[in-house]
Structure 1
Amino acid sequence: MKTSSTSLALALVGASWLIGPATAHAAPPASSGPREIARVTGAAPGNHVLFLENDQGEVDVAVAAIYPQRPLIAPRFLKSHSAAEVFLAVAPANQELPAALARHARLAVDRGTREQLQRENADALASVTSDVASGGQSLTASCSESFRDWVSNVYGDATCGDPSQEAIYTAHPSDTYCTSGCDYTLGAQDKGTCQPKLRSCDIVRGTASVVRLRTTNWWNGPNFNHPGHFAHFGVANCTGNGPVDFNYKRGAASTSTLQVPVNGMLHVKLGSEIVPGNAANFVSYGQWKTGKPASGATYVSNSMSVEANGGTDDRVIACGDIYLDYTMADISSPTCHGSDISLCSGGNCTSSCFYCSGGSCPIN
């Protein structure tokens, strides 16, 4: 496999699943490609979270790990949080938010916020399984079952690395929001004096339309591109004699190239949070309905490719998800609050009208 002097190399080595205290530092500017504004590392070598500013001023988050270790950021947390929130969740408490992230931050950068984000990430990481066999891959051309299982855990989707899913197709994955036992907590925060009278039977479902790439045990160079609101790309290097080049691009930004070593996995989130539903934070004033509509003309181009994967024993797993829309629906039990009563979609949240029927609540 070839290497590139202009690529951002990830110096990753094998480690355990244990995660120790994180450290963060700013890296010197790259001569070309994305500018690394911060790198957070764990105690285990190979655990990295990179914050890369492209030439359009946008910050991409890249999560790197080496088989069989657990990443610093849980895939579910990465999926639903901004780049600034990801940084605050993993960086040391005394590490200031980089200027490129602070410009777009929509939250208070204080101790309470950091601790809350750290807890959320830790809780999400606890659900990332660690029951994979230890040890590296051989040079024999193969993506082993245990390596594929690990890749799906790091990427956060069971279809990534699944040989039966190898294709480009449109999928409709969904997330649930409720008070307990769902993917996300329903109404974890709320506005003003509104006090959500939520019950365990209140459930909101968010459903996405996603153009999806899945390749498993792949030789040579997979390519993937499609317009959309945001993208999640990942590459794992199963076997071979050196790193592969992972290229990605969004919109008018220049193509970024990262290197993924043998036994390594790297995935990157481009654009806004992939789960934009306000139901996780707000229910009042009808905000649980807020998703991301299909927009067509306002979509941004997204593309990824893999190079330097043409050797006899070279094999990679490549996964991509490009999101077209995300819609919310109240799927609460019909008997949750009684006949014709549902999650409030109006502006009066000072009485039992929080669960109002039809037009009985004024719309803001």
Structure 2
Amino acid sequence: MTELTRDRPLEGLRVIDLTRALAGPYATLLLAGLGAEIIKVEDPRGGDLARENSPYVGRDGITVERKHSDDVSISHLTRARGKRGVSLDLKRAEAREIFLDLVRSADIVVENFTAGTADRLGVGYAASQAVNSRIIYCSLSGFGATAPEGGKAMDIIIQALSGAMYASGGPDEPPVRIGIPIADMLAPVFSVIGILSALEQRHRTGTGQHIDVSMLGALTSFVAIENWSAMAAAGMQARTGLTVQRLSPFGVFECADGYVALVAVHEKLAEGLFRAMGNPDLARDPRFANRDSRVANAVALEATINAWSRRHPTAHVVAALEAEGVPAALVRHPEDALRDTRVVDRREAVPVSHPAYDSDIDLRTAGIPIVFSGADTGFDDVMPIRVGEHNDQVLGETLGYSADRIAELRAQGVI
């Protein structure tokens, strides 16, 4: 966990976390890293779905299958950082009462059930607002709270419906799944924006509100930043694979030992590219003499660049381009990217480990990619390795329940 030297921006705020899998837990992970106290609520029978995600880490190192009871899914290890865990069977009336007691003490609730589920369980916004008018309640679902009940969504479903899969790849290729769970990661960022906005409004009004974020809406809003209809009307090929032909030259080009990304959209950059290629006369070729002509002849220009870059290793190509002031970079593997000192030093990628066992593998995961001049970021040294690990602490210390009552709730299967 990160050693904290200054207060974090959200210190003093309490979040009741009903989320599971990735989208919701990433939203509460961001809030945890910004300093909020997170109380993660899980079903006593198995807990968060992410606990069953392979691979696992434990006494035998990294394994595809769980071999020991204390093996921990790396998904859970990374998403549950900085959170205290309680277990509640929300189908039981007694558990719902405990939840409402938590809400009375809280500032924020976050849930990512399918639309209508939270209300049906008695833990939705109406029930929460009735016991705490200041509560900020965020619902993050596949299609929004106004969608018909039962509409389930996973990242790949949202990628498919948003059009994102046909925004990547070449014109004659199958749809391309974006390699990171972009819908699962994007919607929680909007959720946190909504929560922080509602907090600011609460400072003025004194009351909370319901925030409704749709995964489909979040990703589609990003797809919509390009005007696909306009490109089609102009006869421009929108789906161009490794390059963006309407900005040519702009994209990824093949080298002798890998790939390089480069950007040379303006005259000065294009001329620098041609000099790096050892062919400055290309700047006077009518096909490439100005920006519009380069776009109109993008296929020929990209073929010319690839013919040059394929003859050289990536180090040579990047050095030649940088010497001419052309933005360029090696296309790296994620493992290499997570070791870049530019992100490590800023704690944007951070190490993570099993709490009891060391590993020879350099495990790294997401930090908080924000640097404050007057505040810190990072995670409290707490995590619910077992389902309901912090039941006694939260119910006893936070809610003031007696040891006898907690024991009775446990015996009844409520927690």
TM-score by length of 1: 0.23
- More strand per residue: 1
- More helix per residue: 2
TM-score by length of 2: 0.21
- Give the structure with higher Rg (CA): 2
